[in-house]
Structure 1
Amino acid sequence: MLSLKLPQQLRIDQVPQVFHEQGILFGYRHPQSSATACVLSLFQMTNETLNIWTHLLPFWFFVWRFVTALCVTDIQNDSYSWPMLVYMGTSCVYPLVSSCAHTFSSMSRNARHICYFLDYGAVNLFSLGSAIAYSAYTFPDALVRTTFHDCYVALAALNTMVSTGLSCYSRFLEIQKPRLCKVLRVLAFAYPYAWDSLPIFYRLLLPPGESAQNEATPYHQKHVLLTLLASFLYSAHLPERLAPGRFDYIGHSHQLFHVCVILATHLQMEAILLDKTLRRGWLLASSRPPSLPQMAGALLLCAVFSLGNIGYFSAALYRVPDPEPHKKET
């Protein structure tokens, strides 16, 4: 009878420092795992298992939503729906890439960095997809067809490219300057989100105009609150920092961060769909939605630049000396 031996798990003192997670003491995978061992670890409780599944399962949910939207949309003639489809497509990409990054990040030190380089690129591409949908459907009445509106997607694309480079660079500081690394990484994701959310902040804090006073507002509020909670969990490493070893497998901050991010994306999607439906008449009469060349150009430019960034930093990994030469991988 065929039997598979599940990969061995290690303690924090048995893996190189680059694999360490603050407050997580047990459940580490071998730092030179094979691809097969990484896949098998999906069915074994390690400190990464729920990180993988909390994005892999939602990926299929978002794919279902995307396919459903495609089936009810006249893609060739309904240009009003194109920004929504772009957004829903990018919302499928980042959970898949993130789950793959967590799955294969234990293959080697360099593989870990490269996996998360790709993860950062996917998250930033989703940020651009959000900006495209916001530009088309969620802008408050007073900001529609202003200079800010005209420049909004272009600057979101620039933010995406800069953020990918900054977040990738931060990984080179993990060992020697961990605090600076954390500050740069949080900043790399916080400022594109802040830029993308300016129309939402306006709608929540100021009179948004008649067409923007609708049932989408509570969803926007919950999305912002969940995103702020996710940012706090990512930065604070709670609760595992207060009780090291107690939340190694279930309940540590990165798992909670993943859950909050997925819920926030779901609420964001519902809010955008409501705005798209409820404001259709006013927006078609008053706004200029991003054209197909604009959207395709922004996405293509960001994808090429991000992949170039990832390639550059991946090559740099092999030029930079190992910061832990004294510590062998078990």
Structure 2
Amino acid sequence: MSSTSETRLRHSAPSVTEAAIETGHRVVDTVKKVSHTLHWDELPEWSKDNEYILTGYRRLQYSFSGCLHSVFAYLHNESVNIHSHLWAAVLFLGFLVTANDHHIAQYPTAMWLDRAAFAVFLVMAVFCLLCSATFHAVACHSQEIARQYNALDYAGIISLIVGSFYPAVYYGFFCQPTYQVFYLGGITLAGIGAAVIVLAPRYATPAYRPIRTAVFVGLGGFGVIPLSHMVLSHGFTAACEEMGLAWVIYSMGFYLVGALIYANRFPERLAPGKFDLFFASHQIFHVHVVLAALSHYVGVLKAFHHWHGALNGTCVP
């Protein structure tokens, strides 16, 4: 090989290396650009909600198709929130469709009021869970869409809380229609009041999370009044049979614990960045909501079968 060729090779080697390095940098930059998720520091201010969740945020999509794609195509920090309530909604829709054949139709004493009590609770459960799943799915659309669907999410929570009271009060005061009307009217008005507060635009910001949580807890706490009335007038054992009280208490416990975990951002506040994709407080809250709704439905079934099975749909003096 001539000295001229050797010289050319020596000069070309660094150029090839530099070109490879430059290509590598371009690849890395391209990957960063097409990455589906962002870090907390890359988020627009309006979308920052939990400073202890550092990664896994979706890019703004500005389209519902992009939001839908994010639900099934890749993992992000809303994946668990979406799917936990999406599939729970499907489950409760199944309960709604099968309640009549599996339970209500078993007893000739069952009336339209029984069907209404079941329907109100199950429809509100499906509505709440779908609102929640939808909000978390489209929260990456844009600021305005996120705001609108966040309000829908709050409306769903209120609807489920209010709807849960209907079968409990109906069966708890099965033979006392005056109390049924009184307590159901009261919880309905309280639900409207709660909606006025939490749906106000000023309360939709992260700074008002404790107030929103307090309103939801207070609305759920309204149930202590008819429950206490039931226990004092009928006794705890009778209330467990006639109202499914034990399961109602379990349900309220799940709601309360879940709300407190959510409000205090536990456990991610103890280890920021470690619970970005799984086991964050909002995800735990979602699971508690599902467990609470399931517990409540068990209580409804227990009360229904008591009145129409053991008591044959009659009021015993």
Structure 1 residues 222 and 11, CA gap change in structure 2 (3 angstroms): same
SS at match of 2:68: helix
Contact 1:212 1:279 survives alignment (8 Å): no
Segments of 5+ residues of structure 2 without an aligned counterpart are: 1-32
Is 1:10 the equivalent of 2:38?
yes
Q: Percent identity?
A: 24
Task: Find 1:226's aligned residue among 242, 247, 254.
Answer: 254
1:192 Cα deviation from its structure 2 partner: 1.5
Is 1:93 the equivalent of 2:124?
no
1:195 Cα deviation from its structure 2 partner: 1.1
Contact 2:258 2:284 survives alignment (8 Å): yes
Contact 1:31 1:106 survives alignment (8 Å): yes
RMSD: 2.9
User: TM-score w.r.t. structure 1 length?
Assistant: 0.75
How far apart in 2 are the matches of 1:31 and 1:182? Answer: 23
- The residue correspondences of 1:1-330 to structure 2 (distance < 5 A) are 8-22=36-50, 23-43=52-72, 44-72=74-102, 73=104, 78-82=111-115, 83-139=117-173, 145=176, 149-169=180-200, 171-172=202-203, 174=205, 178=207, 181-201=208-228, 208=235, 211-214=238-241, 216-280=244-308, 281=311, 284-285=314-315
1:32 Cα deviation from its structure 2 partner: 4.2
Structure 1 residues 129 and 221, CA gap change in structure 2 (3 angstroms): closer
Of the structure 1 ranges 182-191 and 200-209, higher mean CA displacement relative to structure 2 is found in 200-209
| Large movers: runs of 4+ above 4 Å | 146-149, 170-173, 201-207
User: TM-score w.r.t. structure 2 length?
Assistant: 0.77
1:36 Cα deviation from its structure 2 partner: 1.6
How far apart in 1 are the matches of 2:266 and 2:313? Answer: 43
- Amino acid of the structure 1 residue aligned with 2:80: L
How far apart in 2 are the matches of 1:32 and 1:69? Answer: 39
Larger Rg: 2
Contact 1:200 1:220 survives alignment (8 Å): no
Segments of 5+ residues of structure 1 without an aligned counterpart are: 288-330
- Which has more helix, going by share of residues? 2
- Amino acid of the structure 1 residue aligned with 2:257: L
Name the structure, 1 or 2, with higher relative contact order (CA <8 Å, separation 6+).
Answer: 1
SS at match of 1:160: helix
Could you say which residue in structure 2 is the equivalent of 1:314?
Answer: none
1:127 Cα deviation from its structure 2 partner: 2.0
1:173 Cα deviation from its structure 2 partner: 6.0
Q: What is the number of equivalent residue pairs in this alignment?
A: 276
SS at match of 1:214: helix
